[in-house]
């Protein structure tokens, strides 16, 4: 598979203008993960504000990652383990408090499930807490209130020109100590040195053992530009600014037109299954069959390879919560059956003759396994298929051998 990591900005990209995940976006991203592609959500939001979207997309079950605070921290969506972090030097917080006071700006910071601020009546601070599902806490001094090094500070003002002036001042006086991100007209985000989504994606790529050419990134803001430029394919949203679009390899529709889902379908899903075989129709026809009863869904089909996914749930698990061996064999027969149908001549049809499997590992309830069938022998009277079944993280669960008898149609 050409791509192995999909990185999406959240606000203005993943979410529509109502800050909602659409059904099409959810469906597309779940399908992508079932195909074995890892997803990372990258945002200026704190981890607490991104986690609900990651859970809605099943990223905690498929091995996804959360890139928060514009790249200051990368967290495993399933375990909560921090795999990359760059914080602000705590000694700089009193300086920022004095600067905010002189500039008559509100200073805010995230800690755990709270937004800490010197003015919690500021409407932008209130909106930030509400958007991320966090509590507000008024403090006299952020430096005294924090219990750990902050990953991000926010200067808030309705005067964008004033914010730009402060940003220029910080660039000239704090270069090599802190970085700034001017994400919208009323926020200036202060982060540690060399913090950005591009740095975080580079760290994640290194952890996953893949190359940047295997990454697709989608975004709409200036904070996404470096990420779009370094990815194998960088896609700008239709609602992105002109400067962002100029830096991208492709442009999709807006976030209110399911632009991210459309780009993913074109770049990944269609690339994976370039075929005339009507998979959607085949999946729809499975209702009332064994395939439908245990949740098997075809995801790719050709004469050289057939793939499908199957959930590990109450229908396919043992009493102990592990994938049942019989369900694995049913998935193997289903894949090999379709493969032989594709390979058969117009006057031939396939009949299952034998299946055997070796179970080498386990898949737990809540996972979705992926079966991959490839032909070993396509003869005139029989077809032999090898079917490997993997967990969502790529671990081999079982390997099966399926033999189909090829018969001539009568009349």
Query: What are the pLDDT digits (tens) for 29-57?
Result: 987 887 778 999 999 999 999 999 999 99
**What is the tens place of the pLDDT at every residue in 308-324?**
999 999 999 999 899 99
- Going from N- to C-terminal start, the domains of the chain cover 5-83+196-272, 90-192, 279-408
pLDDT band at 409; cut points 50, 70, 90: low
Residue in this structure with the two tokens 């379908």, named with its chain if needed: 265
Q: Is-catalytic flag, 348?
A: no
66-122 pLDDT, tens digit each? 999 999 999 999 999 999 999 998 888 999 999 988 889 999 999 889 999 989 999
CATH number of 279-408: 3.10.129.10
pLDDT at 347: 65
Topology of domain 5-83+196-272 in CATH is: Rossmann fold (3.40.50)
Alpha helical stretches, state H, 22-159: 23-34, 47-56, 59-62, 93-102, 123-131, 142-145
Q: Which of these, 317, 325, 319, 395, lies nearest to 355 by C-alpha position?
A: 325
Q: What stretches of 201-330 adopt beta strand conformation (E)?
A: 215-219, 233-236, 250-251, 297-301, 306-311
Q: What is the mean pLDDT of residues 4-13?
A: 96
The whole-angstrom separation of Cα 170 and Cα 159 is: 17
**CB-based contacts of 411, cutoff 8 Å, min separation 6:** none
Tokens of residue 119, six digits: 């003015």
pLDDT bucket at 356, cuts 50 / 70 / 90: very high
Q: Which residues contact 15 (CB under 8 A, 6 or more apart)?
A: 21, 53, 255
Query: Over pLDDT 70: what percentage of the chain?
Result: 96
- Using CB atoms within 10 Å of the CB of residue 225, give its burial: 0 to 12 exposed, 13 to 18 middle, 19+ buried: buried
Would residue 194 be called left, alpha or beta, if left means φ above 0 and alpha means ψ between -120 and 50 degrees?
Answer: left
- Mean pLDDT value of segment 347-351: 80
Catalytic, out of 111, 128, 189, 333: 333
Q: How many residues does the chain have?
A: 411
Please determine whether the domains at 5-83+196-272 and 279-408 fall in the same fold group of CATH. Answer: no
What whole-number distance in Å separates Cα of residue 249 and Cα of residue 235?
A: 6
d(CA 354, CA 403): 5
d(Cα 350, Cα 365) in Å, to the nearest integer?
A: 33
Please give the average per-residue pLDDT across 282-304, as a whole number. 86
Residue-level pLDDT at 411: 46
Structure token pair of residue 57: 């997309």
pTM of the model: 0.67
- 276 pLDDT higher than 80: no
* pLDDT of 273 strictly over 60: no
The fold of 90-192 is: 3.30.1240
In whole numbers, what is the pLDDT of the chain averaged over residues? 90
User: At 371, which helix (H) or strand (E)?
Assistant: strand 368-378
């Amino acid at each position: 598979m050409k791509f192995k990591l999909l990185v999406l900005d959240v606000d203005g990209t993943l979410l529509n203008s109502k800050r909602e995940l659409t059904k099409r976006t959810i469906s597309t991203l779940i399908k992508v993960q079932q195909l074995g592609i890892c997803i990372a959500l990258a945002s200026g939001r704190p981890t607490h504000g991104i986690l609900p979207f990651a859970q809605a997309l099943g990223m905690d079950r498929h091995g996804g990652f959360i890139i928060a605070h514009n790249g200051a921290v990368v967290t495993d969506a399933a375990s909560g383990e921090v795999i990359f972090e760059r914080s602000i030097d705590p000694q700089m917080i009193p300086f920022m408090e004095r600067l905010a006071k002189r500039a008559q700006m509100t200073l805010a910071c995230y800690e755990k499930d709270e937004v800490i601020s010197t003015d919690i009546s500021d409407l932008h601070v209130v909106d930030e807490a509400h958007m991320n599902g966090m509590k507000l806490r008024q403090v006299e001094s952020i430096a005294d209130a924090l219990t750990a090094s902050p990953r991000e500070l926010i200067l808030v003002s309705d005067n964008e020109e004033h914010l730009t002036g402060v940003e220029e001042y910080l660039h000239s006086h704090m270069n090599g100590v802190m970085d700034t991100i001017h994400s919208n007209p009323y926020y200036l985000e202060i982060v540690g040195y060399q913090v950005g989504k591009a740095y975080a994606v580079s760290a994640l790529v290194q952890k996953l053992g893949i190359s940047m050419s295997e990454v697709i990134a989608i975004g709409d803001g200036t904070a996404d530009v470096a990420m779009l430029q370094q990815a194998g394919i960088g896609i700008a949203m239709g609602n992105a600014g002109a400067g962002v679009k100029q830096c991208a390899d492709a442009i999709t529709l807006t976030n209110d037109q399911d632009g991210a889902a459309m780009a993913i379908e074109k770049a990944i899903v269609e690339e994976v299954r370039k075929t005339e075989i009507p998979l959607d129709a085949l999946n729809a026809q499975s209702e009332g069959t064994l395939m439908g009863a245990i949740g098997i869904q075809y995801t790719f089909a050709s004469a050289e390879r057939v793939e499908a996914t199957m959930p590990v749930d109450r229908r396919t698990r043992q009493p102990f919560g592990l994938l049942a061996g019989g369900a694995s064999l049913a998935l193997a027969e289903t894949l090999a059956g379709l493969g032989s149908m594709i390979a058969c001549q117009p006057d031939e049809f396939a009949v299952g003759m034998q299946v055997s499997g070796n179970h080498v590992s386990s898949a737990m309830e809540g996972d979705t396994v992926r079966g991959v069938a490839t032909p070993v022998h396509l003869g005139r009277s029989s077809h032999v298929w090898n079917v490997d079944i993997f967990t969502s993280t790529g671990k081999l669960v079982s390997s099966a051998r399926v033999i189909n008898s090829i018969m001539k149609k009568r009349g």
